[in-house]
Amino acid sequence: MVSKAVASLASIILVACVIAGVVCLVNRSGDSHDGDHGTNISTSSKAVASICSTTSYKDACVNSLENVGKNESATAKDYIIAAIQATIEEAKKSIKAAESVKTDGGKDPRDAMAVEDCKDLLEFAIEDLQAAFSFVGDSDLHTINDRLFDLRNWLSAVVSYQQTCLDQIGEPQYKDPMEHGLLNATQLTSNALTIVSQLGEILKAFHIDIELPKGADTGRRLMELSVVGHDDYPSWFPAGDRKLLQAGRAKPNAVVAQDGSGQYKTVGGAVNAIPRKSKNRWVIYIKAGVYRESVILPKDATNVYMYGDGPTKTIISGSKNFAINKITTMNTATFGTYLINGEGFIAKGIGFRNTAGPQGHQAVAFRSQSDLSAYFDCRFEGYQDTLYYQTNRQFYRNCVVSGTIDFIFGRGAAVIQNSEIIVRMPLPNQLNTVTADGTKEAFAISGVVLQNCKIVAEPQLFPNRFKIKSYLGRPWDKFSTTAVMESEVGDLIDPEGWTIWSGSNNHQTAKYLEYGNRGAGSNTNRRAKWTRVIKKNEALKYTPSVFLEGGKKAVKWVQGTGLPVTMGLTY
């Protein structure tokens, strides 16, 4: 009877706290203190301990929330703001740490470039953190919950920027101080991502009931997507972009032509002339030709749509590479995007090529940081590290991607649909791996999905396909996530299917999945034991509608293109 009375009192107190909009925690341990019969209300240390209990770095979490925990009227929103604010402060310190690392450019040119890259990447991280901070500060709990997917995506991008910084540094005398300087920032970013991702559970603990956001993994949503043959237009682009792409040859703001018939003879020239921070679409038409240049879209060149005369006619070609040029992987890209202040870069009918060959080792043809970006009828040609989905949400449809080692890799979230994946001849004693996902955090919005694709060997590899090991992928980081679904898998793929990342235990925590594949290489009887064949309900979670959407903003992403995209499963 006593326990029931205590429970009732606790419930009344919790309800009162919810009505007041504060975070309260009830001690249900049964310990009596000063005659309170086991009901001890705290708005400080216990609330902080509860929120931090799910994080990986609990001490850092407690320290970051200590001050807000002392506020007796603090709400769940206040705790989220505090977690992000603390992360911003540490991220700013990490830039100072990068500036303090002195390199020898003559002796170690690649590491010198890597440290400079760190400064840029950490600036990008701060911009995303500030965007997240502003959004939470200007929103109520319902709004935050509706856009949790977007918020998680921003924090996931921060994780990617931080890790990319460290990935590219080789020598210990540079890497060790950088890791030390980033330690607090990376821990707090991980914690903030966990707190945001677990918000629903936190609110439930405080008896705050908010409906799941649209696009979440609800039973009804999955039922809608499970219809056989369900083929719809994804909803990621606004109506204006739909009309733009449906028009085919849209009226350009700028024309690039090698013969002088346009305003510019180089792609770089047209890119440099893009109005900065434009709210309207800026359309660039690139006429047929091979443009031998490296092009980087700057971060303030927003809302860009670029199209060509076809991926085998309009080609942007470069040869920068890791091994010969002694530069960092991200700087080998023939074409790259730095769309931080904007989003939604679209490319159609263009080929992106890196001609360094297998001897160049890491040699990126295309690298994208642009959120809510999409690529249609494009071709990405290279060998190692061809297509780099570096950060944020990306969609590829009717494309061709070719390469050897980890040639589809990154730390963002990418779905590649209805595309041809061509495995090429590697160097002697090398193996082929189609994918290498680098998801570092369990709650990150990241991973790669190949859906309804065709995985084949190039003509040069074909007669040697049983002599050279080729795998669907390998786990680059602890929580690497890769799904191959409804695809035609050629007999070049080894019966084991997947291989481990040498020298790591990433495969023990990674998520490697197959569903509904066909072809001679799709037999899963001899697959690696750490991979799984999944059923329809789980496979639906990796379709664009669930894997890439999740918030009201993202619901207008791809569907607006007017191009055919499968939102669910084809069967």
Residues 440 and 540 in one domain: yes
Residue with tokens 């409906």: 211
Residues 191 and 281 in one domain: no
Q: Say what percent of the chain tops pLDDT 70.
A: 81
Q: Cα–Cα distances in Å, from 188 out to 58, 64, 100, 377, 516?
A: 10, 8, 21, 40, 39
Single-letter amino acid, residue 243: K
Residues 515 and 557 in one domain: yes
Is the predicted pLDDT of residue 60 greater than 80, yes or no? yes
pLDDT category at 235 given cuts 50, 70, 90 is: low
C-alpha to C-alpha distance for 481 and 352, rounded to whole angstroms? 26
Question: 156-177 pLDDT, tens per residue?
Answer: 999 999 999 999 999 999 999 9
CB 174 within 8 A of CB 137: no
540 found inside a domain = yes
Question: Taking residues 512-537, what's their average pLDDT?
Answer: 97
Domain count, the chain: 4
Residues 65 and 178 in one domain: yes
CA dihedral of residues 354, 355, 360, 364 (deg, nearest 10):
0
Residues 379 and 308 in one domain: yes
Please, what is the Cα angle at 136 between 133 and 137, to 5 degrees? Answer: 80
- pLDDT at residue 564, rounded to an integer: 61
pLDDT category at 199 given cuts 50, 70, 90 is: confident
245 found inside a domain = no
Question: Taking residues 55-72, what's their average pLDDT?
Answer: 91
CB 485 within 8 A of CB 517: yes
Nearest Cα residue to 483 out of 457, 510, 519, 456: 510
**Bridging pattern class, strands 25-26 and 41-42:** antiparallel
Residues 192 and 316 in one domain: no
DSSP type of residue 232 = B
49 found inside a domain = no
Question: 240-254 pLDDT, tens per residue?
Answer: 665 666 666 778 999
Grouping H, G, I as helix, E, B as strand and the rest as coil, residue 402 is strand
Q: Cα–Cα distances in Å, from 241 out to 237, 248, 270, 370, 459?
A: 6, 11, 20, 16, 38
Q: How many Cβ atoms are within 10 Å of 211's Cβ, its own excluded?
A: 10
246 found inside a domain = no
- The pTM score is 0.88
C-alpha to C-alpha distance for 251 and 234, rounded to whole angstroms? 24
Residues 97 and 193 in one domain: yes
Residues 364 and 268 in one domain: yes
Active centre residues (catalytic): 385, 406
Single-letter amino acid, residue 464: N
- pLDDT at residue 74, rounded to an integer: 83
What CATH number is associated with residue 499?
Answer: 2.160.20.10
DSSP type of residue 506 = G
Residues 11 and 97 in one domain: no
What CATH number is associated with residue 120?
Answer: 1.20.140.40
- pLDDT at residue 118, rounded to an integer: 97
DSSP type of residue 493 = B
Range of the domain at 107: 58-205
Question: Taking residues 38-45, what's their average pLDDT?
Answer: 45
C-alpha to C-alpha distance for 252 and 287, rounded to whole angstroms? 11
Residues 310 and 275 in one domain: yes
Question: 417-452 pLDDT, tens per residue?
Answer: 999 999 999 999 999 999 999 999 999 999 999 999
pLDDT category at 278 given cuts 50, 70, 90 is: confident
Residues 292 and 383 in one domain: yes
C-alpha to C-alpha distance for 349 and 353, rounded to whole angstroms? 13
C-alpha to C-alpha distance for 198 and 186, rounded to whole angstroms? 18
50 found inside a domain = no
